[in-house]
Amino acid sequence: MFFFDTIGFILLLPAFLLAMLAQARVTTAMSKFSRVNTARGMSGSKIAEAILSRAGVSDVQIERLDANSGDHYDPRSKTIRLSAHVYDSSSVTAVAVAAHEAGHALQHSEAYTPLAMRNGIFPIVRFTSAAAIPLIFIGIMLGLGSEFAPILIDVGIIFFATTVLFHLITLPVEFNASGRAREVLEVGGYLNDEELRGARKVLGAAAMTYVAAAMVAAMQLLRFFLMSRRR
């Protein structure tokens, strides 16, 4: 009953609907503009390289991933890793994604505070997020007759709260990276006006997935908290 309840349904349904809408929107936008090549014909890797050079950042590497997903910036090795269809492609989608990841590299070079906070708590969150649900579940299985059950559930909820915190810190990091991407693509003249509109749609749609993820996590935390009070 802890996991399947009316409260959980009421809290989580809107969040899940938003997540589904956000995912559908980003999938549609990225698919549409992946078929639109930019007039300048610069690939995603070249765009990222140009953005870094323009900002005077010379210690960041750009690597090609064999897979067609997983674009990210690795602050530990100072490496932008781009999937094959972003690294090689000159589509509006590829350029927007590459510029976004370059935005993270610029954040790192400038010691952008939210990024430093996210990187700092990541090792902790990696552990607590994996342990939260199992702890709550074990506490439920032990039942109210066990003195350890409430403790396990409360610790699990605290652990899950770190996941929510991570999502909340991620929001300004991702929005700022997208903002940097939009600005540099426009100021640098890498895209024309029509292409810029497409890039904004791709970046905006991608940003909404982070909002939806944060909302789902927050509602799940609220659900766990309210139900734990009813023990």
Q: Catalytic residue positions?
A: 101
Which amino acid appears at position 72 of this protein? Answer: H
Sheet containing 61-65, strands listed edge to edge, beginning at the edge strand earlier in sequence: 61-65, 79-83, 72-74
Place of tokens 């039942």: 143
Sign (positive/negative) of CA torsion 20, 21, 26, 32? positive
Which amino acid appears at position 12 of this protein? Answer: L
Tokens of 164: 């929510």
Give 73's DSSP letter: E
**Which burial class, exposed, middle or buried, applies to 100 when counting CB atoms under 10 A from its CB (0-12, 13-18, 19+)?**
buried
CA distances from 40 to 34, 37, 47, 90, 182 (A): 15, 9, 10, 8, 17
Sign (positive/negative) of CA torsion 58, 63, 69, 70? negative
